[in-house]
Structure 1
Amino acid sequence: MENPGFEMQEEGHPNMVSKIPPKNNYPYPYLFEQKKTSCSLMKIFLVCFLACLITTAIGVLILSLVYVGQVGPKPGQDMMDSAVEEKPSQNKADSRFSFLNHLGTSKVFKFEGGAIQWARFRNNPKDYSTEAEMRFGTSINKHESKMTLGTLRIVSQGLRVPHWHFNANEHGFLLQGKAWIGVVDEGGSTVTTYNVTAGQVIFFPKNTLHWVKSVGDEDCLFILFFTTHDELRTLDVDDAFFGTPEDIASRSLKPEGGVQFIRTFEKQLEDQAVNLPANLNELIKNANYEQSANSSVWKYFYDLKGSREFIFPGGIIQWARYRKNGVGLNENEKIYSESLNQNADTLTLGTLRIFSNGLRQPHFHFNAHEMGYVISGCGQIGIVGDEPVSEFTVGVGDVFFFPIGTQHYIKSACVEDLLMILAFSTGNQLQTLDMDDYFHATSDHILAQLFLKKQPEFKKIPVFTEDQAVNIP
């Protein structure tokens, strides 16, 4: 209770409680005599007092109900709104979902040959599974991130059927398994096929027909990035075929039997996006998983796990990116680098390994948004941007997003290393500035004036000969 007087009287003050001794021993017998003569009046008083209490209680209850009716949620008002008003801190906590998506727990879209999960924007709010997913999707769209992320699982012998994307390039990182890739160039004159294993990168330019076939004994698991912050638009070959009039398809393909042959095709009831027919062994007798020449393959492929390691005190970075004039790249890597740069709105990919207790220090990117997926380990992420965001935890299967120019850091918080695949929304050289670099680049007298700290104090910040981008205590 807020009223200390009421608290004291509620159960009586300790000093006000007394025990009345027996009448015969009591030194003032007239008090008991007086009590007998006034007994009836006391009863009347008690009855009246009790009636007053009951009347008062009823009155208070009625007033309370009227008050609640006036200040409570209006008919049709969202109860979530009133909850947020009562707990404004809840709004602040939810702000992390502008930058965090628990992809591992999101809706699974199942197909015959595999499954897909999405961290994406959707035009229809009803297509989101949770409020948190909607906040993330809205955020990447509002910031024009030019990125959508999805995981694609293809079971052994399953096929992501030939398709193309109207509004996005596709970059993929194979986390597990072995796949055979096909890419059809403009005009169909060149078909590039190649094999890819765990740790390697695939690339498909916008509107380029491609397929992915799982050819190992275990499932393939891809982390896919698409260069759009709008809803991804895709067309599968079977849908394109069945959407074409029979006579037009017949005149185009000119099969034996003409239109009658075209009519033997049956559209399946289930979506065939990731396909694995039950009678696959009857349908296919021979399958060759050929590898095209390197000059073609490396336009769509990069051996990330075999690339140069950039080693820091607290971790390791490897890059699949464009380098001006091919600096630091071998001949095959130069092909990939130029392929990225020649196509508009491509991505830079990289793996970042942060050793246990290591830190990717606060930094920001001049020319790219960043999106990442946690492969192993766990970490803490902090963001300093245009809205307050509390530090949040990420673990395996989580997706995070840093808008361009937003300062951010990542700490490894587990015994095992924190390993992530990162994508940056630029096909040019990534431009980044770390906190220690901009402190050292700023004159100490400017820092002294800014932080109201004596100029010599800033000499205590050391300059290291080794890059501290990823450091460790």
Structure 2
Amino acid sequence: MDNSAFEMHEGTRQHVSFVGKMNTISRMEEKRQRSLMSVFLVCLLACTITTAVGVLILSLVYINNTQLHPEPELQATTIPILQKAVDPKFRFLNHLPKSKVFEFPGGTIQWARYRNNIKDYLSTEEEAFGRSLNSQRSQMTLGTLRIKSNGLRAPHWHFNANEHGYLVQGTAWIGVVDDGHVVTTYNVTAGQVIFFPKNTLHWIKNVGNEDCFFLLFFSTHDELQTLDVDDVFFSTPEDIASRSLKPEGGINFIRTFHEQKEDQGVNLPHNLAELVTNASYTQSPDNLVWRYFYDLKGSKEYRFPGGIIQLAQYWKNGSELSKNEKIFSTFLNQHQNALALSTLRIYNNGLRQPHFHFNANEMGYVISGCAKVGIINTQGTTEFDIHVGDVIFFPIGNQHYIKSACDEDLLFILAFSTGDQLQTLDMDDYLQATADHILAQLFFKKQSEFKKIPKFKEDQAINLP
């Protein structure tokens, strides 16, 4: 017989037991959550304290450094603000007479070039020109060399450039020692060109009564690297020099040499008459001389209505060259990164019309006169005035023009960064070569209008109005 009362009591006991267990579990869960919350709050408090301490330390360090080193902080904030913008024309123009003059006992040197150390520039304008030469990979640097009477540009060589020189004034005796130990010596006068290949030892001696004034072009857009013979000698250990030269008296003779306090790059001893008693300025055979020499003033003149051009360059067709000029042309073309030199004379009010060069950058120095120069490139047109002593730079492919603006002739010495024949295209030539219907479509002008542009029998590279 089933006892329902018993069954009900047992169910009640089981229910009470279950509820008890659940309450116990709930209390344990609440206790565990409170413990976790306590741990979290402790960790949060620790992080907050650590962060506050770190910020406080950094603040103290910053304040201390600011107090100890106020000047660098001031410079860092003021230099960019005070630095003035540079006129874009100085990418193409260098006022060389304003540049630093390097003084030596026997003369002076000035430079229009790129410098590795920005502190070596005298102005932001000079820096802009140097950086332009370097960024455009111009393969050109220009220097002026003035040598006093009897002065000597010490024997030296250049590691990273060929050298091309134009003698503006004076008379000089040149010496060149090639890799075959062959010595070539020759005399040059105003209007003539000299050439020294890279790493070829050479010297220049003024043998006239007036100063020699050279324009020197070097085939590098980096800092020119040069080594003088006296610097090499005094940097060589005495025993090594003695064993190499084997002089009478040996190392004791070597010790009689004393390095001068003043740089002897352009040398002129005060007691020269005591040191030199019988100097001989010989001329080597033509087949040697004309490798390093070119009579530019005596070369062919290319005459135009507004001026004259003469060139010392390599010619693909040398049929019009003399025997000696062919020697120079061929030798020039055998050297990498050689330059072409030219004189450009523009008569009063003459215009070297807009043109550009396919295969060369151009650098020029104003010998006489004054002019207005214009450069047209992808950034627009840049126009400026130039005077005696100024240096200009025209990057390859940039169209440019030069208009004489003085009563006297404008005379330029120009260098081009090519050892090949210079390739040039003038504005009138490329417009004449373009079909009329192409020009009509381009300029929105009737085709017949372009018949008004005349064709001249005489080349108008340098024209007159």
Whether these two folds match at TM > 0.5 is: yes
* CA drift at 1:246: 1.1
* CA drift at 1:257: 1.1
Q: In the alignment, which residue of structure 1 is the partner of 2:335? A: 343
Distance in 1 of aligned mates of 2:270 and 2:142:
30
State whether structure 2 residue 412 is matched by structure 1 residue 409.
no
Q: In the alignment, which residue of structure 2 is the partner of 1:24? A: none
* CA drift at 1:185: 1.2
Q: In the alignment, which residue of structure 1 is the partner of 2:121? A: 128
Q: In the alignment, which residue of structure 2 is the partner of 1:269? A: 261
State whether structure 2 residue 228 is matched by structure 1 residue 233.
no
For 1:29-48, list aligned pairs within 5 A.
Answer: none
State whether structure 2 residue 293 is matched by structure 1 residue 301.
yes
* CA drift at 1:327: 2.8
Distance in 2 of aligned mates of 1:340 and 1:113:
30
Closer, same or farther: CA 337–78 of 1 in aligned 2, 3 Å: farther
Closer, same or farther: CA 269–431 of 1 in aligned 2, 3 Å: same
Deviations 1:106-125 (A, max 9, x none): 11000000000000000000
Closer, same or farther: CA 453–331 of 1 in aligned 2, 3 Å: same
Q: In the alignment, which residue of structure 2 is the partner of 1:382? A: 374
Q: In the alignment, which residue of structure 2 is the partner of 1:77? A: 77
For 1:161-180, list aligned pairs within 5 A.
Answer: 161-180=154-173
Distance in 2 of aligned mates of 1:345 and 1:327:
24
Equivalent residue in structure 1 for 2:323, among 331, 338, 350: 331
Deviations 1:378-409 (A, max 9, x none): 00000001334531000100000000000000
* CA drift at 1:425: 0.4
Task: Report if the CA contact (8 A) 2:107-2:151 is conserved.
Answer: yes
Closer, same or farther: CA 453–159 of 1 in aligned 2, 3 Å: same
State whether structure 2 residue 426 is matched by structure 1 residue 434.
yes
Distance in 1 of aligned mates of 2:201 and 2:122:
30
Secondary structure class of the residue paired with 2:77: coil
Distance in 1 of aligned mates of 2:434 and 2:381:
27
State whether structure 2 residue 147 is matched by structure 1 residue 154.
yes
State whether structure 2 residue 137 is matched by structure 1 residue 144.
yes
Deviations 1:315-360 (A, max 9, x none): 0001111111423110010000011001111011010000000000
Equivalent residue in structure 1 for 2:353, among 345, 351, 361: 361
Distance in 1 of aligned mates of 2:91 and 2:425:
23
* CA drift at 1:79: 5.6
Q: In the alignment, which residue of structure 2 is the partner of 1:242? A: 234
Q: In the alignment, which residue of structure 1 is the partner of 2:20? A: none
State whether structure 2 residue 344 is matched by structure 1 residue 352.
yes
- TM-align CA RMSD: 1.4
* CA drift at 1:83: 7.3
Distance in 1 of aligned mates of 2:95 and 2:107:
20
Secondary structure class of the residue paired with 2:173: strand
Distance in 1 of aligned mates of 2:251 and 2:410:
57
State whether structure 2 residue 225 is matched by structure 1 residue 254.
no
Distance in 1 of aligned mates of 2:252 and 2:82:
64
* CA drift at 1:260: 1.1
Q: In the alignment, which residue of structure 2 is the partner of 1:287? A: 279
Secondary structure class of the residue paired with 1:278: coil
Secondary structure class of the residue paired with 1:390: strand
Closer, same or farther: CA 100–78 of 1 in aligned 2, 3 Å: farther
Number of aligned residue pairs = 393
Task: Report if the CA contact (8 A) 1:95-1:389 is conserved.
Answer: no
Superposition misfits of 4+ residues, deviation over 2 angstroms: 74-84, 386-390
Q: In the alignment, which residue of structure 2 is the partner of 1:457? A: 449
State whether structure 2 residue 90 is matched by structure 1 residue 115.
no
State whether structure 2 residue 437 is matched by structure 1 residue 445.
yes
> Structure 2: which amino acid aligns with 1:457?
E
Equivalent residue in structure 2 for 1:213, among 205, 210, 219: 205
* CA drift at 1:187: 3.4
Q: In the alignment, which residue of structure 1 is the partner of 2:69? A: none
> Structure 2: which amino acid aligns with 1:162?
P
Task: Report if the CA contact (8 A) 1:96-1:389 is conserved.
Answer: no
Q: In the alignment, which residue of structure 2 is the partner of 1:222? A: 214
Closer, same or farther: CA 251–351 of 1 in aligned 2, 3 Å: same
For 1:43-54, list aligned pairs within 5 A.
Answer: none
> Structure 1: which amino acid aligns with 2:143?
G
Task: Report if the CA contact (8 A) 2:178-2:200 is conserved.
Answer: yes
Larger Rg: 2
> Structure 2: which amino acid aligns with 1:246?
E
State whether structure 2 residue 397 is matched by structure 1 residue 399.
no
Task: Report if the CA contact (8 A) 1:358-1:471 is conserved.
Answer: yes
Closer, same or farther: CA 426–207 of 1 in aligned 2, 3 Å: same
Task: Report if the CA contact (8 A) 2:376-2:382 is conserved.
Answer: no
For 1:191-210, list aligned pairs within 5 A.
Answer: 191-210=183-202
Distance in 1 of aligned mates of 2:248 and 2:460:
67
Secondary structure class of the residue paired with 1:326: coil
* CA drift at 1:75: 7.1
* CA drift at 1:77: 3.2
Secondary structure class of the residue paired with 1:391: strand
- TM-score normalised by length of structure 2: 0.83
Distance in 2 of aligned mates of 1:346 and 1:398:
23
Identify unmatched segments of 5+ residues in structure 1.
1-73, 85-89
Closer, same or farther: CA 82–240 of 1 in aligned 2, 3 Å: closer
Q: In the alignment, which residue of structure 2 is the partner of 1:4? A: none
Distance in 1 of aligned mates of 2:311 and 2:450:
34
Distance in 2 of aligned mates of 1:271 and 1:376:
32
Q: Tell me whether 112-121 or 317-326 shows the greater mean CA deviation.
A: 317-326
Distance in 1 of aligned mates of 2:106 and 2:451:
61
Distance in 1 of aligned mates of 2:435 and 2:81:
48
Distance in 2 of aligned mates of 1:375 and 1:381:
15
For 1:47-62, list aligned pairs within 5 A.
Answer: none
> Structure 2: which amino acid aligns with 1:254?
K
- TM-score normalised by length of structure 1: 0.81
Q: In the alignment, which residue of structure 2 is the partner of 1:32? A: none
Q: In the alignment, which residue of structure 1 is the partner of 2:92? A: 99
Q: In the alignment, which residue of structure 2 is the partner of 1:46? A: none
Deviations 1:167-197 (A, max 9, x none): 0000000000000000001131x11000000
Distance in 2 of aligned mates of 1:469 and 1:121:
32
Distance in 1 of aligned mates of 2:154 and 2:417:
27
